[in-house]
Amino acid sequence: MADVTFTPSAVTPARPRRPNPVLHFIRKQPLGFVGFLVILLYFGMAIGAFWISPFHPEEIDFAAMLTGPNHEHIMGTDQYGRDVFSRLVYGARTAMAVGIISALLGCTAGALIGATSGYFGGRIDNLIQRIVDIMLAFPIIILAMVVVAVLGKRLVFGVDVNLIIAIALPMVPKMARIARASTLSIAQMPYIDAARAAGYSHARIVLRHIVPNIAAPYLVMVTAFIAQAILLEASLSFLGLGVTEPTPAWGLMLSGASADFYKAAPWMILFPGLAITLAVFAFNLFGDSLRDWLDPKMKG
């Protein structure tokens, strides 16, 4: 009987397990995770304002006017006896809603404009970039003030739509420049030439092959622009061009306290100012960490 020799089959090496992206982000960017936790805190305040705040934000109590922080009013009261903590918590709703919607609107419009400009090039690119140059020539606050003054106020479900447009518009040219720069390099890739050869339409190539490839800078700019939108909304409300009384808003709280009560009731300025500063810092910190984490050169 012939000897039979068995050859052991080649063993396929196991694929290395991909690290959990959340845990990887926490390990690589601990400060960014701290910023993310602060952002979650603000979202929790905005969503649970009804249960968190001890008083209604518009409840007036003349007997408690300009009361300092105590066990009942932990952040004191304003000139109308309204609880500062309650208005601060409800003000998170205004800041988060206006900031997020404005940033998403401005970044999305800027990304589409920039991708279109970089993809087509030529006269279309020149025309779009000259318009972008004109918009960038205006300071952000001036451009937003002009838009608010021209459009006025238009409330939809309690939200000033024109205020959101005024805040989103200055973000469009910056995002358009970033998207155009990314598109110029992507448009030279072989798969774009293959899509053209296959007869795909320009709209399909831009939306399906270019826009998804600029998602990383888009996400980073959204987080950065949310911080900018929160600061811009507070500035416009402080100047009387944004949210108006009696709606609770951080900038509006500063406006009513800064001129007449900064000595008699400093808590009216301190707590809204800290809320704005912490929110802007958290979004900027998270945005910078997200940029470093998504950058292939920064991934060790």
Residue 233 inside a domain? The answer is yes
> Is residue 194's pLDDT more than 90?
no
Q: Read off the CATH number of the domain in which 212 is found.
A: 1.10.3720.10
Other beta carbons within 10 angstroms of residue 282's beta carbon come to: 23
Number of domains, the chain:
1
Please answer whether residues 92 and 42 qualify as being in contact, where contact means their C-beta atoms are separated by less than 8 angstroms.
yes
Residue 12 inside a domain? The answer is no
Residue 112 inside a domain? The answer is yes
Residue 291 inside a domain? The answer is yes
**3-class state of residue 259 by DSSP:** coil
pLDDT digits (tens, 9 = 90+) for 20-52: 777 777 888 888 899 999 999 999 999 999 999
**3-class state of residue 197 by DSSP:** helix
Residue 8 inside a domain? The answer is no
> Is residue 296's pLDDT more than 80?
no
| Domain coverage including residue 284 | 41-298
**3-class state of residue 109 by DSSP:** helix
Residue 36 inside a domain? The answer is no
Residue 223 inside a domain? The answer is yes
Residue 176 inside a domain? The answer is yes
pLDDT digits (tens, 9 = 90+) for 137-181: 888 888 888 888 888 777 665 567 888 888 999 899 999 999 998
Please answer whether residues 275 and 88 qualify as being in contact, where contact means their C-beta atoms are separated by less than 8 angstroms.
yes
The whole-angstrom separation of Cα 299 and Cα 292 is 8
